[in-house]
Amino acid sequence: MCGIAGYSLSPRSAVDRTLAAQALLAGIADRGADAVGYAYRGRADTYPVVTKQRTPASLLLERIAVPAAATELLVHVRDYTKGHPSIPANNHPVRHGPVVGIHNGIILNDDELLAPHSCSRAEPRMTVDSEAIFALAAHSRNEPRALEALAGSMATAWLDQREPGTVFAARGVGRPLWLGRAREEVFFASNRTALEVVSEYTGVRLRAMEVRDGTFLALRAGRVAQTARFRPDRSYVEETALPAVRAPGESAHCLERLAAIAGTAA
């Protein structure tokens, strides 16, 4: 069980980009402690800037720095299944060609899907299953129905260097995804709590909703620009129910530090 979060902001949004990223991370921090990372992209950028490290969220929180021009963000905390976190390329955000993405869940047929692509497993000893999602996105030009080839569970989001200004997100089965919408902002996260935290610290009132299984979203300039449906794999059944809390105390610690950061900034 991992945690994902992120945003798409209008260039007109007054939201503090770094504080919003920290708030989202604090909200998902207890969903994994094997690794943590984030990626952002601004109006003038094509390829996202990626930062990741093999620590719990609390050891990255105060190091997060997102420039004021950034309009797209991905955040991830990892509780790994396949792809040991000692290999940096296995940690999220994960790269496949022009796509950088994050994933919560497990993909069972990743090796089969990646086999035809020469750019797969670009780094030595890379084995993370999530790369298969981003390979499908890359080679289909972000076609929603391409995700139907995946076997397993999934909530995911990604950036494509060929599509500046856009954050893609999708929910298959077995993993949650929440969306929070405002006038100039769209936030997403694995849990509603993260949306509540970002609303508290940014002052933006969000209309929250849980994303349905089999939903693909394209987010642009703080709006949901496209919604499409695909048929997710419904054959996958978790052997044992996974608890949402995988790193007890991480969110509490991050929220304490976030309050101090916000107080200092004020």
SS3 of 81-138: the string is CCCCCCCHHHCCCEEECCEEEEEEEEECCHHHHHCCCCCCCCCCCCCCCCHHHHHHHH
DSSP conformational letter for 251: H
How far apart, in whole angstroms, are the C-alpha atoms of residue 255 and residue 198? Answer: 11
How far apart, in whole angstroms, are the C-alpha atoms of residue 241 and residue 175? Answer: 11
For residue 121 the two structure tokens come to 């497993």
In sequence order, the 6+-apart residues with CB closer than 8 A to the CB of 179 are: 186, 187, 188, 208, 209, 210, 211, 217, 224
Identify the weakest region by mean pLDDT among 3-17, 90-104, 125-139, 232-246: 232-246
DSSP conformational letter for 54: S
* Residue 63 burial (C-beta neighbours within 10 Å; 0-12, 13-18, 19+): exposed
Instruction: Read off the pLDDT of residues 39-90 as tens digits, 9 standing for 90 and up.
Output: 999 876 678 999 999 999 999 999 999 999 999 999 999 999 899 999 999 9
pLDDT of residue 265: 64
Instruction: Read off the pLDDT of residues 216-264 as tens digits, 9 standing for 90 and up.
Output: 999 999 999 999 999 998 988 877 777 778 888 999 999 999 999 988 7
Instruction: Read off the pLDDT of residues 181-210 as tens digits, 9 standing for 90 and up.
Output: 999 999 999 999 999 999 999 999 999 999
Average pLDDT taken over every residue of the chain = 94
Q: Does domain 3-265 have CATH number 3.40.630.30?
A: no
In sequence order, the 6+-apart residues with CB closer than 8 A to the CB of 162 are: 46, 98, 141
For residue 39 the two structure tokens come to 């990626």
Instruction: Read off the pLDDT of residues 147-194 as tens digits, 9 standing for 90 and up.
Output: 999 999 999 999 999 999 999 999 999 999 999 999 999 999 999 999
Predicted TM-score of the model (pTM): 0.96
Percent of all residues in the chain with a pLDDT value above 70, rounded to a whole number: 98
pLDDT of residue 12: 96
DSSP conformational letter for 249: T
pLDDT of residue 44: 67
pLDDT of residue 266: 56
